[in-house]
Amino acid sequence: MTETRWLDDEEQRSWRAFGLATRLLLDRLERDLQEAAGMPPTYYELLVLLSEAPGRTMRMSELARWTHSKPSRISHAVGKLEQAGWVRREHLESDRRGWLAVLTDEGQAALRVAAPAHVQSVRAHLIDVLSPEQVRQLGDIGETLLRHLLPGE
């Protein structure tokens, strides 16, 4: 068994500030998106992914992969988006077990309403409170963490 490498004071300060700031930021962004567009971040993320996909269509399994979610969670979320009229599901012709999620015109319209409010919130609570150098550093830190946490992708 290896000896525990405890965090020193500076590492502890950084870790606690990062953890709390991340939770508070995500909570604020979620509240702002819910108030402005009536949708949680998961639904917004799915609408964005579909809006950027060819033909505004993606396999359900691809949505799960891109969001790092379980297929059952994506299926539930897409079901809610279907109820809102923002997405429809279609069978994949080449694979009867496969399903496609298709962004509807109503879903595209909902995204057009949500996007400006979401960007404004991201700007107000993250981008505009940092200097340009800090924004660059944040991007570098995020990319480093992604390379570590998503190896092989």
Residue appearing with tokens 């991007």: 139
**Whole-number pLDDT of residue 39:** 94
Which phi and psi (to 5°) does residue 151 adopt? -65, 140
Average pLDDT of span 100-109 = 97
Q: What is the pLDDT of residue 96?
A: 72
Exposed, middle or buried, 111 (CB in 10 Å: 0-12/13-18/19+)? buried
19, part of any domain = no
* pLDDT of amino acid 7: 95
User: Is 60 inside a domain boundary?
Assistant: yes
Distance of CA 108 to the CA centre of its chain: 17
Q: Is the pLDDT of residue 2 over 90?
A: no
Q: What is the pTM of this model?
A: 0.87
Please state, as a whole number, how many other Cβ atoms lie within 10 Å of the Cβ of residue 148: 8
> What average pLDDT does the segment 71-94 reach?
92
Total domains in the chain come to: 1
Question: Do 50 and 56 meet the contact criterion of CB atoms below 8 Å apart?
Answer: yes
In a domain, residue 7? The reply is no
- Is 1 a domain residue? no
- pLDDT score of 29: 97
**Residue 12 in tokens:** 């502890």
Domain CATH for 112: 1.10.10.10
Q: Is residue 121 part of a domain?
A: yes
The pLDDT assigned to 153 comes to 62
Residue 85 lies in a domain: yes
Does residue 14 form part of some domain?
no
Contact of 95 with 73, CB cutoff 8 Å: no
Note down the domain range covering 99: 24-149
pLDDT of 136 over the 90 cut: yes
Residue 71 lies in a domain: yes
Which residues is 103 bridged to in the sheet?
Answer: 87
Q: What is the pLDDT of residues 14-70, one digit of tens each?
A: 999 999 999 999 999 999 999 999 999 999 999 999 999 999 999 999 999 999 999
pLDDT score, position 93 = 78
